[in-house]
Structure formats: C-alpha cells, structure tokens
Chains A and B, each alone.
Chain A
Amino acid sequence: MGKKTIFDKCRKNKESSYVDCELGSLDELKAVIPSNFLRDDLPLPNLGELDVVRHYTHLGSLNFSVDTNFYPLGSCTMKYNPKINEAIAHLKGFTDIHPYQSEKDIQGALELMYCLEEALCEITGMKRFSFQPSSGAQGELAGMLMVRKFHQVHGNKKTKVIVPDTAHGTNPATAAMSGYAIQVIESSPEGLIDIKRLRNLVDEETAAIMLTNPNTLGLFEERILEISDIVHQKGGLLYYDGANFNPLLGITNPLLMGFDIVHLNLHKTFSTPHGCGGPGAGVVGVSDRLIDFLPAPLVEKNNGKFYFNYNLKHSIGRIRSFYGNFSVLVRTYAYILRLGRNGLIKAAQNAVLNANYLKEKLKENFEVAYLKECMHEVIFTCQQQKEKGVAVFDIAKRLIDYEIHPPTIYFPLIVKEALMVEPTETESKETIDYFIESMTKINNEIKENPQIVKNSPHTTPIKRVDETKAARCLDLRWKKTGD
C-alpha cells in the first residue's frame, strides 16, 4: 500500500455526507450561474474515511520528527514542542474566532497579543512588535522595508545592505527584494565580522547590516558594539536575524547589542512546531525610533479595553492579511508563561552546554571548523573524511540508519564539507552521547568499510533518492494514467 498515491486509491462509491445541503442543488446552481462560468468535471478521488485515515497515518510513519527522533538540524532549533501549547492553541475560544469579528468580541485574543508583545519586548529590549510576519523571511522583508522607509523619511537614499558570507540565504534574498544592492563581507579567520574590512565597506550608502548573533558558525560576535557603532556612525541601521536567538534568552538582548530591528522565529526559539516546513512566525520588533514604521495594526490598551491601532505615521503597510499566525502566537505565549524568566535562561544555558559538550567529545574525530567556544550549535568540517572518499552528504545519510535526523550540511557556505549540529536544550546527555557514539562509529566505518557509508541509508523504506532525475524529468503532480 505504501507506493500508491491517494489518487490511485479512488473508489467508485460517490456518497458523501459530511455536511447537509438543505436548500438547493447543483441544478439550481446551474440555473443561476451561466454555463460558461461552470466546470464540467471535478476530477477528485472518492475515498472512504478509513482509506484516508490509513493513508495519512502511513505517510506520517515514514517521517523522522522531533517526537520520534533526535533532530539536530543546525540553524533550525528543533527543540521539543510542549504538548500543552497544542492543547491551548486548540481551545475553541482561540480557533473559532474570525479576524473580522468586532474588537469587543475578541478581547481575549487581543489581550493575549498585548501580553505576548510585552513579554517579547522585555526579552529582546525592543519597544514594539508587529505580529504579522508569518515566517522568518517575511519578518526580514518587513524589517528591510522599514529600513528603506526610515531612510526615505530622513531624506537619505541609501543603496546598499551588508550581509556576512556566513548569512542565511534569506538575508541577501530579502535585501534584494527590498531593492538594495548586496555587499557581502568576508568573515575573519576566526569566523567573525572582520572589523577592519567592515570599516572599509561601510559608507554613506550603507542602509543596514543584517546579522545573526551568534552567527551561523555558532560563534558570538564579541565586538558587536563596535560593529553597531561603525554602522550607526554612517547613518545605517542594524538588523537582527533572530534565527539564532535561543542561546541568549535572558543573557543579553538585541537592544543591548545595538540592533534597531529584530525578527524572532517563534517556531525556533519559542518551541512552536515546524509542521513539515511551517507555519512558523517571524514577528518583527523595533527600537523607539522605528515604531511608526511597523506594519499596522498594533494592539493597544485603553481603560482596560484592547483595540487595534492602525494609525502609524510611516507604516510600511501590510505584509499579509489579518494579524499574522495567531495560533502560533498562542503557543508562544503558553511557552513563555510555562518557562518564565528562570526557565528561559535555563533553556539558553542548556542549549549552549549541550552544543559545547557535543563539540568537545567529537572534535577528536571530526575537525571543528572554528575552535572558539560555540554557542548553541557547532560546525564541523568533514574534510578528513572527504579525503577518504566519503562526503559529508554520505555521513548525513548514514546517520539516518542510526535513527538520527541528519544535521544541516553544506552550510554555512564558507565551511568546506560543513556539518552543522544544533542539539538544543531539550535533548538529554544520553541522547547526545548516542549521537557522539554514532558519529564515532561512522568515522570508523569510513576507515574500515567506506562503502557502507557511501551506500547508506540501508534501513529506510527507500534508498538514496535520484535528485538529478527529479530535476531533469519533472514530475510535479499526479496524472490519471493515459493523460
């Protein structure tokens, strides 16, 4: 049954009675709507409920997930997603409210957004947040369009945005979508921003620099205040990509580091589930001088009543419909209440502890790309293994046989044969020890029997996938045989 698509399981039975059709019929519809507006055929499969339940239960069972496997996917913060968050998000009082109900009917939702905003401001040092952006990249876009509008309002037509060579691909892609030319700054030999190079690069045309801190090498930019001074002195702004904020909860914040705009990936740092690729949320926060530029509306409070404020003088406008991914906000707020100030800092500390422990125990067999103490993730460069004919790609596939979801590979781009491991704080020492043990075994296999690694995975229902064929002979949708 595994190979068939849902369309191949179609039955002849056409009955469906999930809903009533009390008042009309297809014939009535055909009498009202002209036939040139109507379709002749609706080629969807008809299935029994059991067919559907089995199909998706089976498909679910084919996936590695946080609930089933260690999932140290670097830069993605695959921490445990507490189940209370799900229970709360599924309360009818949160799921069954319409975005266009009047404000007095959704006071609970507005209060939640108001309180969550206060908490995120406290955590990041920012003054206000917009909850509209629904992914990290959309948060970046909102942020960079604010940069643009800010400079326009101040009469400066700046043209360039600086991104490090270690940056997530979304950073340069977003800066380009915001109409900026991109200047890539090469990292120092230590894997940090090269201050001298930065000084030479930053000029009156610099609109902003986009940074993660810790950066994507897992290293903390110690000289962040110098960086912010250099950029601010020329009138530029600092954009904080919050993808790596997890290790800094309660330790420092983007305001103290000199940032003007921040996006947070609530699905990373704040434990909301990643859902096969989303939904997440990329809420965007700003310091005082940028509040008026946020996407409207913001939630305000007056005499104990909460309301939407659309009146932001320089707002960049909407970045999506309605108010963002509300149910992701609900989960986030539940998480923050549950952890509290003591729990948030402990989460950060254990994320750093786990990563450093993993680094320390593996460094003998796998070369660490940058030796400095890491924060929440560590990047190995598997060049020694590559010299023995085994690529990091092969190592990743072999980890699947050990029931571990492979870490991020070939990123950051400046590290050869990069293996980027982010264990997160919710994993135990035993699990990390198991990862270390598995990696050590794989290293031995590379010496003794490299084929077993190169041909892996061996335990999955399908073996290595032909990605070249997928791109060359595009098959992107099911078709009826003979079509």
Chain B
Amino acid sequence: MPYILNTPEDVALMLKEIGAEDIEDLYKQVLSSLRIEGQLKLADGFSEFRVKCLLEGLSKKNHTIDEFNAFLGVGMYDHYVPAALSHILTNSQFLTAYTPYQAECSQGILQAIYEYQSYICLLTGMEVSNASLLDGASAFAEAALMALRITKRKKIILAGMIHPEYIQTLETYLSGLDFSIQSIPPNKHGVLNWQSLRLHVDSDVACCCVQSPNFFGLIEDIADLSEIVRKTGALTVMLTNPLSLAVLKEPELMGVDIVCGDGQALGGSLNMGGPSFGFLASKKNYVRQLPGRIVGKTVDNQKNTAYCLTLQAREQHIRREKATSNICSNHSFNAIIASVYLSLMGAEGLRRVAVSSFSNSQYLYRRLKEIRGVIFPFSSCFFNEFYWEVNNSQVVFDKLREKKIIPGYLLKDKLPEHQNGILSCCTEKKSKNEIDSFVNCLAEVLHG
C-alpha cells in the first residue's frame, strides 16, 4: 500500500502500547449495523505506472484548446503563462502548506498574500483587498452580500449585461435570505439602460451590480453609474476582468465601492474552469465587512517586520453564525499564482498582454465587419471580447468546427433570446495568420 510508512512490526508495537489486539479493536464503537459489508466495490489499488497510463489515456480523449484556432473567452482566457511561473508553482512549500494560522512558521505565505492584496489594490485603485475567494461568481455573490450588510437595505439591482452563471450563483447565495433582486437589462446597444436605472435606483436599493467590460465585452460608463447610485446612499459593486485594468481606469477612481472578479486571466490555467480564484477589494471603510482571510503587516516582539492573519473577528471560526461569511478555505495558491504572474510581467508586460489582446480583437472585429451576413448590433467600444450575430449560427459554428476553428461562444443555449449571437475573444496568443484564417473560413462557409 503506497504512502503508509508503518511496517507490520510498527503496527504490532503500536497496538500493544494501545492495549488493542488488532486494528479492528480500534473500531469497536462503529457498531456492526453501521459497517460496510465486505469491501468497497472498487478495484484494488493500481501501480503508479498503471494510474499514469490510465489517466494519460483519459486526458488524451480531450481535445485541448490549442488543437483548435479558438476564440473562446467568456470568463476564462487562454493567455500565455511564462515558464518561470510554471516553475515557481512546483514549490511544495507553498503547495503543501495550509492556511497560515501559525505566523512564525508561515511568513513566506503571509508575505506572498500581503503582496497579492497589494497587487489587487494597485490594479483596482482600492484601499483594501481580502486574501482571495473561490472564483469570480462566488466573489460576486459575496460582494453583493457585503453591500447588503453595509447598507442594511434589502434590494439588489443587477444593471446591464452580466455573466449569466454569475447571476445564477448570486441568486443561489441569496436564496435562503430575505432580499430581492431586480434586473435592469441593457438597452438595445448592449450597455446600461440609463432611463430605467434612474427610475429604479432609489433609497431601498443596497447596491447596483454591474459588469464592465460587460458580458458582451462592452465597456460600461461606470463613473456615470456610480454617481446615480451614490445619490441614493447605495453602493456600486463592479465585476471586472483584472487584465482589463492594465489599461482601463481604476474602479476606485470611477466611484466604485466594491470591486470583484475572477483572477484566472492573471496567469491561471484554463483547467476546464477551475480552480481559479475570486478577488474582492473595497474602500477602507468597509474593511470589517470583507469576507474571508486578510493578512496584515505588523512586527514581532523584536520589532522586526512580520505578517499575520488579521481582523479574524469577522470570520466563522470566531464569530460563528454572526460571521461576515461562512468561507474558510479560499484559493490562496491561485492568488499567489497571480502575484507571481504580475511580478514577472511588470507594468510593461501586463500592458503588453492587454494591448495585444485588445488589438487582436479589434483586428478580428474589423475583418469580420468586411463579411456580408455578419451582424454587429452593438457599437460601443470593447476590450478583448465582442458580440456578433450570424444567421443559422449553429450550422456556421459546426462547419467551422470541422475546420478546427472555434469561433467563440454560441449564446443560444445560455441565452435563448440571442439565438444567433456569438461572443468572440482574442488573447495575445492569437496571430494575424490565425485571425485571417478564421475570417477567410467564415467567408467561405457563408458565401462559398
């Protein structure tokens, strides 16, 4: 049996010390009526080699994203991961440690998380960040819950086009509680419906939640929104792609109170959607309402710089049912991945990734516009992803798939009202050739 170090002699000695005849003796409280009859209906353990062969076989049944010319984003982005990042990640003194409860033997983790919090603050312009949450969608739900606690109001407004899975997650998180959610769909241009917002944002509203770049990829006018929201005493909760913040204005400078999102774009693998991590940052006033772990800088008793978990009185292990959230484990390791990524990239590197993603998307957008039958219902500016339509989208999609092209994300399953809608995204990994090839194939599919 792998990974057990006790020899039969050890076991005998240990049982003798305990005063037990055999290991079964240690289970005498587990009454026979509770016992599994015989053995589990699983195979006996395999050799490591056989496990490797079996699972390698399974992995090969997947077609990885780079087997295709793919333009798929929608919350998970195929960015380049530097070799040095992959190398640092094998450091088992991060990987095999747990939450840094004991500061003196966890200074490396604590400093790395403090630096992560700092990076999130630098990107968002916010004053405080927690040590990570589980993913973007649950971070979005936690951000809304936080606004409800702060304002002590009962209503949430979802403004404009937000990732449907994030909305569903928010609805689930709130389903046991006495709060209401009102959705204010985007206008015909795909962006915030100002008229409707002015009508509905009132003094009952706890927060107005908005995604920018929104689900269609369009950049929203957050500053104008937060001005409307602030007048009613409500908060602005913004969901964003952290990579976009390499070029787009800091949420804090646009009057946002709480900003959140998924951090996968910052050096994370796709991993079929998980794990990534959720980030959550806010103005300083709200720090005591943040959910999850927070690391603070302090000193040791010799006045040396030191770090530790702080403000733990917000958390479930102290405050129990009155905690700001039930969260215990978070996604620290993925948050540290983001820190390493940002450190490797630096300001110039990150901007380059953002600009390159933007420019590639712009080029694809312009090329697609040349094709008859491709419709662009929206005209606002976007960052790395945009929405377009084509008749018989499923047929077009399937024909391109035969040519090993994934044109993007077909919306009809998630949003039936967008039967012919496709979201396409470019990262810096796309070359001009790949984009041209996609566009030429599409023209061929549509017009022969």
Q: In the assembled complex, which residues on chain B have CB atoms less than 8 Å from the CB atom of A182? A: 320-321
| Contact of A384 with B by CB under 8 A | no
Among the listed A62, A88, A136, A295, which residue makes an inter-chain contact with B172, where contact means beta carbons less than 8 Å apart?
Answer: A295
B332 touching A361 by the CB < 8 A rule? no
What string of 1s and 0s marks CB contacts (under 8 Å) between A18-51 and chain B?
A: 1111111110110011101111001111110101
> B212 to chain A: closest CB distance in Å?
9
Q: If the complex has contacts A177-B176, A475-B298, are A319 and B51 also in contact, measured as CB distance less than 8 A? A: no
| Contact of A119 with B by CB under 8 A | yes
| Contact of B257 with A by CB under 8 A | no
| Contact of A343 with B by CB under 8 A | yes
Q: If the complex has contacts A20-B356, A341-B40, A467-B310, are A273 and B96 also in contact, measured as CB distance less than 8 A? A: yes
Q: In the assembled complex, which residues on chain A have CB atoms less than 8 Å from the CB atom of B1? A: 339, 342-343, 346-347
Q: In the assembled complex, which residues on chain A have CB atoms less than 8 Å from the CB atom of B332? A: 275-278
A322 touching B274 by the CB < 8 A rule? yes
Q: In the assembled complex, which residues on chain B have CB atoms less than 8 Å from the CB atom of A73? A: 98, 101
What string of 1s and 0s marks CB contacts (under 8 Å) between A55-74 and chain B?
A: 11111111111111101010
A340 touching B270 by the CB < 8 A rule? no
> A479 to chain B: closest CB distance in Å?
8
The stretch that binds A, out of B103-111, B199-207, B440-448, is: B103-111
What string of 1s and 0s marks CB contacts (under 8 Å) between A250-290 and chain B?
A: 11110011000000000100000111111110000000000
Q: In the assembled complex, which residues on chain A have CB atoms less than 8 Å from the CB atom of B136? A: 321
A52 touching B14 by the CB < 8 A rule? no
What string of 1s and 0s marks CB contacts (under 8 Å) between B35-64 and chain A?
A: 110011111111010011011101111111
What are 23 pairs between A and B in contact, CB < 8 Å?
A19-B356, A24-B358, A29-B358, A33-B383, A39-B248, A42-B350, A42-B351, A62-B93, A63-B94, A76-B98, A94-B59, A99-B270, A137-B316, A178-B176, A222-B30, A253-B36, A321-B165, A337-B51, A341-B42, A342-B39, A360-B18, A431-B5, A478-B115
Among the listed A38, A66, A431, which residue makes an inter-chain contact with B97, where contact means beta carbons less than 8 Å apart?
Answer: A66
Q: If the complex has contacts A76-B98, A170-B316, A321-B137, are A140 and B326 also in contact, measured as CB distance less than 8 A? A: yes
B96 touching A338 by the CB < 8 A rule? no
Residue of A nearest to B426 (CB): A23
The stretch that binds B, out of A105-113, A196-204, A229-237, A440-448, is: A105-113
Among the listed B34, B56, B316, B339, which residue makes an inter-chain contact with A91, where contact means beta carbons less than 8 Å apart?
Answer: B56
B329 touching A267 by the CB < 8 A rule? yes
Q: Whole-angstrom distance between the alpha carbons of A53 and B333 in the complex?
A: 16
Q: In the assembled complex, which residues on chain B have CB atoms less than 8 Å from the CB atom of A7? A: 115, 118
Q: In the assembled complex, which residues on chain B have CB atoms less than 8 Å from the CB atom of A49? A: 82, 84, 344
B26 touching A373 by the CB < 8 A rule? yes
Query: Interface extent on B, as a size class?
Result: 35 or more
B34 touching A256 by the CB < 8 A rule? yes
> B409 to chain A: closest CB distance in Å?
5
B118 touching A478 by the CB < 8 A rule? yes
Which residues 276-333 in A have Cβ within 8 Å of B in the complex?
A: 276-280, 295, 316-328, 330, 333
Number of interface residues of A (CB under 8 A): 200
B117 touching A276 by the CB < 8 A rule? no
B61 touching A111 by the CB < 8 A rule? yes
Q: In the assembled complex, which residues on chain A have CB atoms less than 8 Å from the CB atom of B327? A: 135, 137-138
> B164 to chain A: closest CB distance in Å?
9
The stretch that binds A, out of B126-134, B153-161, B180-188, B190-198, is: B126-134
A16 touching B270 by the CB < 8 A rule? no
| Contact of A102 with B by CB under 8 A | yes
| Contact of B119 with A by CB under 8 A | yes
| Contact of A465 with B by CB under 8 A | yes
Q: If the complex has contacts A37-B249, A97-B272, A251-B27, are A471 and B310 also in contact, measured as CB distance less than 8 A? A: yes
- The residue among B14, B17, B65, B406 with the most chain A CB atoms within 10 A of its own CB is B14
> A152 to chain B: closest CB distance in Å?
10
B315 touching A96 by the CB < 8 A rule? no
Q: Whole-angstrom distance between the alpha carbons of A13 and B106 in the complex?
A: 32
Q: In the assembled complex, which residues on chain B have CB atoms less than 8 Å from the CB atom of A91? A: 55-56, 59
